[in-house]
Amino acid sequence: MTDALNRRELLRRAAAGGAFLTVPGVLAACGGSSNKSAGATSGESKTLAKTLRFSNWTLYIDVNEKTKSHPTLDAFKKKTGTTVQYTEDINDNASYFGKIQGPLSRGQSIDRDIIVMTDNSRYPSLLIKKGWLEKLDKSAIPNIANLEPALQHPNWDPNRDYSLPWQSGMTGIAYNDKLTDPVLSMDDLLDNPKLKGKITLLNEMGDTLALVMLANGDDPAHVTDATFDKAIKRIKGAVDSGQVRQFTGNDYSGPLSKGDLSACMAWSGDVVQLQADNKHLHWNLPDTGGDIWTDNMLIPKGGNVYTASVYMNYVFDPKVAALIEDYVNYICPVKGAKAALQKIDPAVAKNTLIFPTQKMLDNVHIFDAAALNNQKYLTTWQNLISG
Amino acid sequence: MGFLHRHRNLTPYLLLGPGLLYLAIFFVVPLGFLAYQSLESGNFDVGYSFTWAWGNYWDAIQNYRGHFIRSLEYAGIATILALVFAYPLAYWIAFRGGRWKNLLLLFIVAPFFVTYLIRTLAWETILADQGPVVSVLRDVGILGHDGRLLATSTAVVAGITYNFFPFMALPLYVSLEQIDERLIEAAQDLYASKWKAFLRITLPLSLPGVVAGTLLTFIPAAGDFINAQLLGSPQNHMIGNVIQSKFLELTDYPAAAAMSFVLMAAILLMVAIYARAVGTEKLTG
Amino acid sequence: MTTAAAAEQQRPGSSALASAWAFVKHHVLTVYALLAFIYLMLPIGIVIAFSFNNPKGRFNYVWSGFTLDNWKNWDGVPGLRSAMVLSLEIALIASLIATALGTLIALALVRYGFRGRGVTNLLIFLPLSTPEIVLGASLLTLFLNLTIVFGFWTILIAHVMFCISFAVVTVKARLIGFDRHLEEAAMDLGANEWATFRKVTLPLIAPALLAALLLCFAISIDDFVVTYFNAGPRTTFPLFVWGAARVGAPPQVNVIGTAIFSVAVIGMVTNVLVQMRRERSTANA
């Protein structure tokens, strides 16, 4: 927090966070005593900081098991002199937001330059709405031209002013061919009596509602009360009849591979891994369409914009992206990484769940971010999945 | 140590001082923040402000009454099951454990070393639909031919019982281990059968442990959310799940806070009734 | 003929059955204990088994082949070892502090009359009943207000806070029913209060202290929610596993979890064996 806060701004921010105003709290917000913001904010300085503080999800970057290091981060240091202080402390979007909204709502920095959050949750758009993100320094990111076209204009950040994808994933239907005939549509998943009690849906509203709306013939990118209610009604019917066993996060992966589930809504990246040990598992986009979500690099308020932007530029170099992709195996947002990967690891390059075909990309949609932040919709959804 | 002798009245306060001061700072003050939050209104976008919003409490009770009751039910059943399963085990360790007692206690808490998620995944393997346990239960007829254990209220209660087992077993052990075996021998010398000696001597003397174990199991179990989330279907969710989602997904902090206080009040009410039913201070301290 | 004589006459024919029944009755408790331990350790068995698994993908759900690689390469996952080390450190220190503070409070509650007994009991039970999510978030608010840097110390403070109650209730179960006559006898024989406490009271409540320590250790090493909110940039073992589970917790997680437990078991077994040898040598001497 390097900008001086005038009293009105301070009170507004404190009220927004519902925080107890105490003398230490006020001093902290004003003086930033324990908050080491690494330097200047938007565009004020073009010098690289010594350290880049990068918070990411666990096991989500390339690893060299022998040296226990992250080769791309080491190479970044060699290239620019900046050490990346990499912490894997993001486990879940909601919990992470719950943790950082405390300091951010008081105008304190969270001591990070880059954080990564998923856009099938409400949090990236909520962060933008609350003004808790810094804008990227695009002049430092010429490689932004390498961004896959399908990901260039998400409805929550149409010009990519605040975010750049780290990895993506698709949501579709997985099924076990030993236990069921191919399940290729949401209609089949929700209505087929042979699947009763053997399917799960995702607890992420953005994912499940998107797929159900598409199956209803509605557009998930523009949610209205009518289309929302229709989708909810359909899902509720499936829950009440016992068709839906549970709403899960990615904990469907255990039951799916063990045969407790015949089919479920699943993320592409998980099934890539599960298939290696269970050849009977298959994943497809529903015939009516699936959705694509992205884990995005964001710069929280107080982060060093220039250094973060330089790093983002670095990972958008196809060669670097290929190295990261070879390990992470979700969907790479960088054009040209596939070509670079052909030389290193052709098996990964050929996998359509990691480098989807154009046909697949045409069949995925992004959920309406405004709907994700609609309190009424959220409450209805939570009541649905929590009985 | 004449100081303590002369200032006898001070001793309890000196003993209580450090611990209670610690709790006052690091629990009561945060609880104060929570109470303040529970009386706020507004929403996350424009911010919350303190408005003595007692309506939050009323809404919590009205809208989620079923979840509160279900939570107390599941926690209650799990506590009784834990008591029934843990008592004989604690008894055996206390009276037959010999020099291996401490090692055996270690085995009781062993599951906690591998973290909740890993041990729940292990249980999901054991209780899998295609696994041995469910197959046997289906053959024997306890489960329907398409029945399952996972994603049911049975799994949730079983999960709570398992995960809170040490909280029941260790206090039971602590109380049982103190019993002088010669009392039991004396009773038997006086022609009491083994069973009668147990009912008349051992059980009453172990009641402080029973009370302690019951409280340490029931109270936290009522607020649990994770067992319902991983092992239950939507119809099995507890109030802990609702509080979790109100806080994290809906960012409705006043609602989450109010709900938490309603839960705490409900739990404490049950504890008060229980303490009265169990009886004197000799048992509850 | 008296009934005893009649019973004597009956014995020869049914003696085999009677002695078999007596055998079962005597050992039923042991059999039960064995079954109970199997129940407790069954998930651990699965965890240990899967630590030898060789999955081709990232997830460790399906058996794909035996390997010793995970054990040989136990340290191969960056961040896992430091997470476990932090968890152990915190658990050890937190359980010691919590047990110490809790024991003092328990002593005061059981042995002294004082005003504020009800408030004290409330203060002990409230943390147990507070849902973890709001407890963690409120503590976070406190730390933010005090501008304390998040990390080791905030985690430690949080863990001591929620462990104290468990220690109090566990030790209390022992103190209720404690025979004060032993202490009185010691004092009659000239020992002052402190010496009595050290030489008479403490050894007698030692099993309760150990039980409280184990319980607090287990709770601390397994805690997720409160830790998550107050850990700042640090990662404990449960936090690491939680995050890793999203993309597939590697088998090394199983290795480290069971290794820690095994080390504790070996430590305790060694302790017992050393004691046994010592006793044998003093007996022979």
Neighbours of chain A (3+ CB pairs under 8 A): B, C
Q: What is the domain partition of chain B in residue ranges?
A: 64-284
The string of pLDDT tens digits covering residues C175-229 is 987 888 888 898 888 888 888 888 889 999 999 999 999 999 999 999 999 999 9
- The Cα C249–Cα C253 span in angstroms is 7
**A24–C247 CB contact, under 8 Å:** no
Q: Is B34 on the interface with A (CB under 8 A)?
A: no
Q: How far is CA B254 from CA A191, B30, B39, B179, in A?
A: 39, 14, 6, 48
Mutate to test the interface with C, among A54, A55, A58 (most CBs of C within 10 A): A58
What CATH number is given to the structural domain containing C130? 1.10.3720.10
Nearest CA in chain B to A101: B251
Mutate to test the interface with B, among C26, C134, C187, C260 (most CBs of B within 10 A): C134
Q: Is B262 on the interface with C (CB under 8 A)?
A: no
Question: Is this complex's ipTM strictly greater than 0.95?
Answer: no
Nearest CA in chain A to B47: A16
- The Cα C84–Cα C91 span in angstroms is 10
**A259–B49 CB contact, under 8 Å:** no
Confidence of residue C117 (pLDDT cuts 50, 70, 90): confident
The DSSP line for A189-245 is HHH-GGGTTSEEEES-HHHHHHHHHHHHT--TTS--HHHHHHHHHHHHHHHHTT-EE
Query: Based on the domain organization, do C141 and C244 belong to the same domain?
Result: yes
Inter-residue contact B114 to C254 (CB < 8 Å):
yes
Q: Is B198 on the interface with C (CB under 8 A)?
A: no
Query: Which residues are CB-contacts of A87 (< 8 A; sequence separation ≥ 6)?
Result: A53, A54, A55, A56, C233, C235
- Helix, coil or strand: residue B50: strand
Rounded to 5°, the CA angle A328-A334-A339 comes to 85
**A97–B248 CB contact, under 8 Å:** yes
Q: Which domain holds residue C61?
A: 14-69
Query: Based on the domain organization, do C196 and C90 belong to the same domain?
Result: yes
**C177–B208 CB contact, under 8 Å:** yes
Q: Is B159 on the interface with C (CB under 8 A)?
A: no
State the nearest Cα–Cα gap between C98 and chain A, in angstroms. 26
Q: How far is CA A377 from CA A206, A315, A370, B181, C24, in A?
A: 11, 36, 10, 64, 62
Q: Is B224 on the interface with A (CB under 8 A)?
A: no
User: Across all residues in chain A, what is the average pLDDT?
Assistant: 87
Nearest CA in chain B to A244: B233
Looking at the partner chain, which of B20, B121, B125 has a beta carbon nearest the beta carbon of C120? B20
The string of pLDDT tens digits covering residues A165-185 is 999 999 999 999 999 999 999
Mean pLDDT of C43-54: 92
Chain B residues within 8 A of C21 when measuring between CB atoms: none
- The Cα A26–Cα B73 span in angstroms is 45
The region, left, alpha or beta by phi > 0 then psi within -120 to 50, assigned to residue C44 is alpha
Domain count, chain C: 2
Q: Does residue C100 belong to any structural domain of this protein?
A: yes
Query: Based on the domain organization, do C95 and C62 belong to the same domain?
Result: no
Comparing C-alpha atoms, which of B84, B53, B248 is closest to residue B157? B84
Query: Based on the domain organization, do C142 and C20 belong to the same domain?
Result: no
- The Cα A125–Cα A121 span in angstroms is 8
The string of pLDDT tens digits covering residues C120-138 is 999 999 999 999 999 999 9
Nearest CA in chain C to B114: C257
Q: What is the pLDDT of residue A17?
A: 41
Query: Based on the domain organization, do C100 and C44 belong to the same domain?
Result: no
State the nearest Cα–Cα gap between B7 and chain A, in angstroms. 38
Query: Based on the domain organization, do C212 and C187 belong to the same domain?
Result: yes
Rounded to 5°, the CA angle C97-C100-C105 comes to 125
Query: Based on the domain organization, do C174 and C227 belong to the same domain?
Result: yes
Mutate to test the interface with C, among A35, A104, A105, A277 (most CBs of C within 10 A): A277
Looking at the partner chain, which of B117, B162, B212 has a beta carbon nearest the beta carbon of C172? B212
Q: What is the pLDDT of residue A36?
A: 44
Chain B residues within 8 A of C171 when measuring between CB atoms: 174
State the nearest Cα–Cα gap between A334 and chain B, in angstroms. 31
Q: What is the pLDDT of residue A42?
A: 46
CATH of B64-284 given 1.10.3720.10, 1.10.287.1080, 2.40.370.10, 3.40.50.720 = 1.10.3720.10
* Token pair belonging to B55: 């309506």
Q: Does residue C276 belong to any structural domain of this protein?
A: no
**A255–B234 CB contact, under 8 Å:** no
Ranges under pLDDT 70 in chain B: 1-8, 280-285
Report whether pLDDT(A15) > 80.
Answer: no
Domains of chain A: 7-168+295-336 (3.40.190.10), 169-292+364-385 (3.40.190.10)
Inter-residue contact C249 to C58 (CB < 8 Å):
no
**A18–B40 CB contact, under 8 Å:** yes
Q: Does residue C94 belong to any structural domain of this protein?
A: yes
Q: What is the pLDDT of residue B284?
A: 59
Inter-residue contact A290 to A220 (CB < 8 Å):
no
**B223–C142 CB contact, under 8 Å:** no
Q: What is the pLDDT of residue B54?
A: 93
Query: Based on the domain organization, do C55 and C95 belong to the same domain?
Result: no
State the nearest Cα–Cα gap between C58 and chain B, in angstroms. 15
Query: Which residues are CB-contacts of A77 (< 8 A; sequence separation ≥ 6)?
Result: A83, A84
The string of pLDDT tens digits covering residues A297-355 is 999 999 999 999 999 999 999 999 999 999 888 999 999 999 999 988 898 889 888 89
**B242–A20 CB contact, under 8 Å:** no
Comparing C-alpha atoms, which of B110, B104, B176, B95 is closest to residue C272? B104
Q: What is the pLDDT of residue C12?
A: 55
Query: Based on the domain organization, do C42 and C104 belong to the same domain?
Result: no
Looking at the partner chain, which of A20, A129, A386 has a beta carbon nearest the beta carbon of B245? A386
Inter-residue contact A29 to A38 (CB < 8 Å):
no
Amino acid at A60: Y
Query: Based on the domain organization, do C48 and C115 belong to the same domain?
Result: no
**C235–A87 CB contact, under 8 Å:** yes
Query: Based on the domain organization, do C110 and C242 belong to the same domain?
Result: yes
* Token pair belonging to B259: 């709900």
Q: Does residue C179 belong to any structural domain of this protein?
A: yes
Q: Is B11 on the interface with A (CB under 8 A)?
A: no
**C55–A276 CB contact, under 8 Å:** yes
Looking at the partner chain, which of A90, A106, A258 has a beta carbon nearest the beta carbon of C144? A106
* Token pair belonging to B233: 């279907």
Q: What is the pLDDT of residue B172?
A: 96
Within 66-105 of C, beta carbons closer than 8 Å to A belong to: 73, 75-79
Please state the pTM of the whole predicted model. Answer: 0.88
* Token pair belonging to C93: 């220190």
**C62–A106 CB contact, under 8 Å:** no
Q: Does residue C236 belong to any structural domain of this protein?
A: yes
Neighbours of chain B (3+ CB pairs under 8 A): A, C
State the nearest Cα–Cα gap between A374 and chain B, in angstroms. 9
Q: Is B280 on the interface with A (CB under 8 A)?
A: no
Q: Does residue C201 belong to any structural domain of this protein?
A: yes
Angle, helices A71-80 vs A305-315, to 10°: value is 120
Beta bridge partners of A283: A174
Q: What is the pLDDT of residue C56?
A: 87
Inter-residue contact C262 to C48 (CB < 8 Å):
no
Half-sphere exposure of B110 (CA within 13 A, CB side): 27
- The Cα A266–Cα A170 span in angstroms is 8
Query: Based on the domain organization, do C55 and C83 belong to the same domain?
Result: no
Q: What is the pLDDT of residue B30?
A: 95
Q: Is B121 on the interface with C (CB under 8 A)?
A: yes
Taking one residue from A and the other from B, the number of pairs with CB-CB distance under 8 angstroms is 91
Q: Is A250 on the interface with B (CB under 8 A)?
A: no
The string of pLDDT tens digits covering residues A106-158 is 899 999 999 999 999 999 999 999 999 999 999 999 999 999 988 999 999 99
